[in-house]
């Protein structure tokens, strides 16, 4: 039966981020429960990446199942242009209540890339509406990844993800990211003064009259290498945007809803961006939903008797009631349970469990932030040479972990563990033991 399912998959499906010519057979998943996924051939796999960072309460959670079923029995969908409904309004109220203060108006879309696309278009049109159409430059950071739509790709790093589409993308100005292990200035974090910030400051000073926005992934840059930040970089970025009178966009598609140990990563530096992008864990992995939330200042830039200043953007499934209902139920679990405290305990366990790997010759750096543990592998500890995203070590490691019942998807030479928050201490201990054992027996990369 499994072979038939895989054969049918190969006959008709095209998987994301996959070279279909020589891809390994996909996992035939038939069930999810808690932190585990079950395959058609009877294997049980611990979901160590939260199914691409979206699942936070575990698979098939009874409360979320109930919320979805109840909403389906009442209203499955209605267009959001000219209509509204309680789940969308309730969710917006709850989001504004828990987001950094000052974020007041919610624009729904349907995934992370579109949440960013909305933010980019909002920032661009905001200045146009104010009569400052020359402010069209976006400043982004090296190693950034903001999604796969054209605008989101444009503000991402020039990388394997975007190279094929380079002629379609608009130009941006890129500044240094605070990648402490690979400091662009060759400094050590123990003694530096966040000197890499000078690159962003110079970009703003050079282009200040033309800058529409600075866009960042606060505290944790995801697909670019799971890069963790000093909080001082984020607070200084907000200060520089204020000084130069431009907008700050925070892409919290990955980092929102507890991943970094705070409800939102911006809380680490006590900053409020002008625009924040949310998705992934917003619905706890159940349904696609994006939200781009703005301050009064941005919202009011679109209020006009001139209808050409309307934000002409939308999606067929904007504010889908099913997705909004599940998102509300997910936020309810945060209110009822000390999930942030649980993530803090997970962070401590990850730090202790991964620390011994620092001694291995193939390990260049170990980073932990909130519920994310990261191990960066290198071919040479002195030069810090590594193969990057296309390093063949990634698929080999993924296969080795899979043999042990642990589902991980390394970003090339960067191994990360990002489980659902419901994982128990014993399950974390088991998963870390598999990671340590595989890496301890790993030949030089």
pLDDT tens, residue order, the chain (445 aa): 556 889 899 999 999 999 999 999 999 999 999 999 999 989 999 999 999 999 999 999 999 999 999 999 999 999 999 999 999 999 999 999 999 999 999 999 999 999 999 999 999 999 999 999 999 999 999 999 999 999 999 999 999 999 999 999 999 999 999 999 999 999 998 889 999 999 999 999 999 899 999 999 999 999 999 999 999 999 999 999 999 999 999 999 999 999 999 999 999 999 999 999 999 999 999 999 999 999 999 999 999 999 999 999 999 999 999 999 999 999 999 999 999 999 999 999 999 999 999 999 999 999 999 999 999 999 999 999 998 888 889 999 999 999 999 999 999 999 999 999 999 999 999 999 999 999 998 876 5
Give the pLDDT confidence score for residue 390 in this predicted structure. 87
* Whether the predicted model's global pTM rises above the 0.95 cut: yes
Q: Dmax over Cα atoms in the chain, in whole Å?
A: 67
User: Which residue in the block uniquely carries the two structure tokens 């600075």?
Assistant: 214
Do 357 and 366 form a contact (C-beta atoms < 8 A)?
yes
- The Cα–Cα gap between 115 and 279 comes to 7
- At 125, is the secondary structure helix, strand, or coil? helix
State which H helix or E strand residue 203 sits in.
helix 197-207
Whether the CB-CB separation of 217 and 251 falls below 8 Å is answered with yes
Note if 41 is an active site residue: no
Q: How far apart are CA 197 and CA 175, in angstroms?
A: 8
350-358 contacts: CB < 8 A, separation 24 or more?
350/417, 350/428, 350/432, 353/428, 353/429, 353/432, 353/436, 354/432, 354/435, 354/436, 356/436, 357/435, 357/436, 357/439
Among candidate residues 110, 176, 251, 274, the one labeled active-site is 251
Q: What is the pLDDT of residue 375?
A: 98
- Spatial contact of 240 and 275, defined as CB atoms under 8 Å apart: no
The pLDDT of residue 270: 98
Catalytic residue among 280, 286, 365, 391: 280
**Do residues 138 and 215 lie in contact, with contact meaning Cβ atoms separated by under 8 Å?**
yes
Catalytic residue from among 145, 179, 286, 416: 145
Given this model, what pLDDT does residue 444 score?
62
Q: For this structure, is 176 an active site residue?
A: no
The question of whether 145 is a catalytic residue gets the answer yes
Name the E strands within 115-229: 137-141, 173-175, 211-216, 220-221, 227-228
Query: Is residue 389 flagged as an active site residue?
Result: no
């Amino acid at each position: 039966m499994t072979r038939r399912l895989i054969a049918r998959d190969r006959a008709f499906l095209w998987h994301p981020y996959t070279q279909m010519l020589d891809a390994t057979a996909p996992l035939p998943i038939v069930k999810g429960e808690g932190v585990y996924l079950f395959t058609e051939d009877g294997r049980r796999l611990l979901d160590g990446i939260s199914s691409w960072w979206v699942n936070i309460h575990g698979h098939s959670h009874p409360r979320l199942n109930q919320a979805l079923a109840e909403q389906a029995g009442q209203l499955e969908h209605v267009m959001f242009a000219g209509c509204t409904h309680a789940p969308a309004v309730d969710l917006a109220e709850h989001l504004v209540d828990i987001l950094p203060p000052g974020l007041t108006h919610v624009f729904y879309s349907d995934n992370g890339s579109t949440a960013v696309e909305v933010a980019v278009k909002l920032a661009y049109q905001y200045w146009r509406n104010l009569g400052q159409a020359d402010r069209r430059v976006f400043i982004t950071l090296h190693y950034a990844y903001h999604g796969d739509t054209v605008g989101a790709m444009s503000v991402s790093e020039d990388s394997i993800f975007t190279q094929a589409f380079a002629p379609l993308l608009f130009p941006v100005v890129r500044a240094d990211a605070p990648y402490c292990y690979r400091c662009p200035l060759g400094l050590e974090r123990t003694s530096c003064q966040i000197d890499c910030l000078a690159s962003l400051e110079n970009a703003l000073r050079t282009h200040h009259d033309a800058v529409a926005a600075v866009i960042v992934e606060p505290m944790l840059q995801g697909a670019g290498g799971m890069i963790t930040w000093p909080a001082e970089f984020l607070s200084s970025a907000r200060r520089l945007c204020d000084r130069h009178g431009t907008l700050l966009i925070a892409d919290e598609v990955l980092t929102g809803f507890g991943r970094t140990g705070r409800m939102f990563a911006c809380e680490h530096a006590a900053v409020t961006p002008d625009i924040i992008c949310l998705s992934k864990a917003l619905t706890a992995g159940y349904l696609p939903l994006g939200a781009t939330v703005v301050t009064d200042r941005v919202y009011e830039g679109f209020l006009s008797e001139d209808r050409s200043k309307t934000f002409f953007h939308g999606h067929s499934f904007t504010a889908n009631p099913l997705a909004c209902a599940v998102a509300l139920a997910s936020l309810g679990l945060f209110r009822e349970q000390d999930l942030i405290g649980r993530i803090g305990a997970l962070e401590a366990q990850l730090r202790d469990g991964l620390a011994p790997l620092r001694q291995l010759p193939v390990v260049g750096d170990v980073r932990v932030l909130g519920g994310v543990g990261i191990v960066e592998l290198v071919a040479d500890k002195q030069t810090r040479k590594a193969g990057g995203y296309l390093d063949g070590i990634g698929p080999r490691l993924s296969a080795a972990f899979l043999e042990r019942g642990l589902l991980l998807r390394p970003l090339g030479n960067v191994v990360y563990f990002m489980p659902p928050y419901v994982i128990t201490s014993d399950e974390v201990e088991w998963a870390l033991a598999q990671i340590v054992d595989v890496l301890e027996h790993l030949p030089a990369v």
